[in-house]
Amino acid sequence: MSEAFERAMAAFEPAHWPLAVGFSGGADSTALLAACASRWPEQLVAFHVHHGLQAAADDFERHCEAVCERLGVPLIVHRVDARHAPGDSPEDAARRARYEAFAVMARADAGRAAIESIALGHHADDQVETLLLALSRGAGLPGLAAMPAHARRNGLNIYRPLLSVPAADIRGWLAERDLPWIEDPSNGDARYTRNRIRAVLLPALEQAFPQFRATFARSIGHAAQGQQLLSELAAQDLETVGDPPLVKALQVLSRARQANVLRHWLMQSHGCAPSAAQLDQLLDQIRACTTRGHRIHLKVADGFAERKGDRLHWYNAPPSPKT
């Protein structure tokens, strides 16, 4: 039952030490923490984020303290306010707060060096849920590539060694070792799309396509490879069109390459992403920009794209009349 888990952990080797494990107390992070503790007992620390969103949050923290004491792993707890703003996704708000908390906990502390690596317990079922969520939102390749096994975020190397391991394998491994875990009550809340996917779609996929985790993983890999190529092409095109981009240089490119390089430019230089509708409008304006007096002024993400001279600029607020 737990062979996939054992193989995944045997292949995992972080590049930097010490290693932190994001530890919620759930089955996935409990198994990951226990397996890492058995391999690297002197180089491990557990990070627990107290989100403050549920009445049981204090109980979660106490449970994590007990497990870490049993495993002999130091525990660091960070409390955050993960409440979402009106119109924001509760899941996205909690996710952002969690990663920001990891970055805070990773900083050097008294008697401890700064931590550069953190392992998270996302598994094959989580990866499928992420892909299905992306499909439901009409996402492009970045969304269809789902979660990478290794990424950099907030100065941390983030590892997900269990992406090939089904949730059932992880629970089987824990049961063999009599290790306790907690079930988050919010996982049964049908208001959250991810929970509906888990409760309804995954069992249906299991029945119709028993190998769906492996085949979906291959598609995710293809999407990730395609996105890498698009990113490399965008970087090359940005060198050609300039930063900020020359409108005439953009017009030489195909519409698809214009879209690719503009998305890259906006994210790399301004940390923002246009909606599909905004990008289409911007591309239409670039195509129509054939005279010196043609004006471009469009809402893009949280700011504005505007033509200034022969180049396209982006501002996070409307430029003043003098600019």
User: 294: domain CATH number?
Assistant: 1.20.59
Structure confidence by residue, pLDDT tens digits, 186-203: 888 888 889 999 999 999
Q: What is the pLDDT of residue 108?
A: 80
Judge whether 223 lies within some domain. Answer: no
Judge whether 225 lies within some domain. Answer: no
Whether residues 77 and 157 fall in one domain: yes
Q: What is the pLDDT of residue 74?
A: 96
Of the residues 215, 250, 266, the one at which a domain ends: 215
Q: Residue 26 belongs to what domain range?
A: 3-215
Is 25 within any annotated ligand binding site?
yes
Q: Which residues of the chain have pLDDT under 50?
A: 320, 322-323
Whether residues 197 and 251 fall in one domain: no
Whether residues 28 and 176 fall in one domain: yes
Distance CA 312, CA 164 (A): 43
CATH number at residue 82: 3.40.50.620
Is 109 within any annotated ligand binding site?
no
Whether residues 99 and 206 fall in one domain: yes
Judge whether 220 lies within some domain. Answer: no
**Helix, strand, coil % over all residues of the chain, rounded to 5:** 50, 15, 35
Whether residues 88 and 193 fall in one domain: yes
Judge whether 236 lies within some domain. Answer: no
Whether residues 17 and 161 fall in one domain: yes
- Bridge partners of 78, per DSSP, are 49
Whether residues 254 and 205 fall in one domain: no
Is 136 within any annotated ligand binding site?
no
Whether residues 161 and 264 fall in one domain: no
Judge whether 175 lies within some domain. Answer: yes
Judge whether 15 lies within some domain. Answer: yes
Q: Quick one: tokens of 101?
A: 């908390």
Whether residues 210 and 249 fall in one domain: no
| Counted domains in the chain | 2
Of the residues 215, 233, 258, the one at which a domain ends: 215
Structure confidence by residue, pLDDT tens digits, 290-321: 998 899 999 999 999 999 999 999 998 755 45
Distance CA 51, CA 58 (A): 10
Output the CA torsion sign for 191, 195, 196, 197. positive
Whether residues 192 and 275 fall in one domain: no
Judge whether 227 lies within some domain. Answer: no
Distance CA 266, CA 313 (A): 10
Whether residues 197 and 264 fall in one domain: no
Q: What is the pLDDT of residue 22?
A: 98
Beta strands in the chain (DSSP E): 19-22, 44-50, 75-79, 117-119, 150-153, 156-159, 297-300, 303-308, 311-315
Judge whether 321 lies within some domain. Answer: no
Q: What is the pLDDT of residue 323?
A: 40
Is 155 within any annotated ligand binding site?
no
Q: What is the pLDDT of residue 253?
A: 98
Distance CA 231, CA 236 (A): 9
Of the residues 197, 215, 233, the one at which a domain ends: 215
Whether residues 132 and 250 fall in one domain: no
Amino acid making up residue 238:
L
